[in-house]
Amino acid sequence: MAEEKKVRGVVVEFDFAVLDGSALLFDVAKKVLAGVGVDFTKKLEALHLAGGSCQGALAELFEKTGCKADAAQVARELNGAFNAAVAEKAPAAVTGAFKEFVNALVAKNVKVVVATRGDAASLGAALEGTGAVVCADASTTYGCAKWDAWMRICRANGFVDVFTAGVAGSGHAVKAALLAGLSAIAVAHEHVAYQDFGGADSVVDQLDAAAAKEILRMLKIA
């Protein structure tokens, strides 16, 4: 019996790799936390929130700053506000360069899955005609998807980890993708440029045809 052909796939962390979601998240968090009396800074974000469970990270931050707010309630407010902001800004982030990125991969029979915490339907409309599959990501990790989110998306789309590349928008997301068994390419936006991107096959400025060529190399597709 002939060996079953494996599906080559790419999972794109849209909110943080395509959209500059890390900077957007910081702005949203700063506004939400000001409402409970916390003067939120990039240092506090890096020390207590980045890469952590939103509720647990907020509880740690509140203990450090002496804030008496309910971490679970603030986490719900923060996640809701961020998801709404992503939904508003995501369609405009679908640039011609990103469409070229998707098209170059689809042309080589690579399945491209784009994950978002925003409005999957409106993002799907913006990507219509590219062949990309848009899926809703219910992650509540601050600033990235955790390894189990990468795994869920892979399983839902019939991907085998070793034949799949993750497109990450932070050093934390790179580590999570690697932990899930994927190879990783990263987009290092200015807000997260301080993070450790070690383990990524490549770090790029944007997702375009050149980035797609790098992913094809990673997946060993001529």
Q: State pLDDT tens for residues 27-39.
A: 999 999 999 999 9
Does the pTM exceed 0.85?
yes
The rounded mean pLDDT for the chain is 94
Q: Report how far apart, in Å, the C-alpha atoms of 8 and of each of 3, 22, 60, 117 are.
A: 15, 28, 40, 24
Asked if the model's pLDDT at residue 1 lies above 70, the reply is no
What are 137's two structure tokens?
């990501």
Do 52 and 71 sit in the same domain of this protein? yes
Q: Report how far apart, in Å, the C-alpha atoms of 69 and of each of 37, 41, 58, 61, 72 are.
A: 9, 18, 10, 11, 9
What are 153's two structure tokens?
């998306």
Do 162 and 71 sit in the same domain of this protein? no
**108 found inside a domain:** yes
How far is C-alpha 128 from the geometric centre of its chain's CA atoms? 20
Q: φ and ψ at 115, to 5 degrees?
A: -100, 135
Q: Report how far apart, in Å, the C-alpha atoms of 172 and of each of 16, 51, 68, 105, 118 are.
A: 11, 6, 28, 25, 20
Whole-number Å distance between alpha carbons of 22 and 14: 11
Q: Which residue has the higher pLDDT, 37 or 161?
A: 37
Asked if the model's pLDDT at residue 26 lies above 50, the reply is yes
**2 found inside a domain:** no
**188 found inside a domain:** yes
Q: Which domain holds residue 65?
A: 23-89
Q: Report how far apart, in Å, the C-alpha atoms of 173 and of each of 34, 81, 209, 222 are.
A: 27, 21, 22, 27
Strands 9-13 and 111-116: parallel
Do 82 and 182 sit in the same domain of this protein? no
pLDDT for res 5: 60
Average pLDDT over residues 171-176: 97
pLDDT for res 101: 98
Whole-number Å distance between alpha carbons of 10 and 111: 6
Q: Is the separation of the CB atoms in 164 and 9 below 8 Å?
A: yes
Identify the bridge partners of residue 183 per DSSP, sorted by sequence position. Answer: 165
Q: Is the separation of the CB atoms in 197 and 204 below 8 Å?
A: no
Do 151 and 212 sit in the same domain of this protein? yes
pLDDT tier at 20, thresholds 50, 70, 90? very high
- Give the total number of structural domains in the chain: 2
Q: Which residue has the higher pLDDT, 174 or 138?
A: 174
Do 69 and 145 sit in the same domain of this protein? no
Which residue has tokens 């993708």? 177
Q: What is the pLDDT of residues 97-144, one digit of tens each?
A: 999 999 999 999 999 999 999 999 999 999 999 999 999 998 899 999
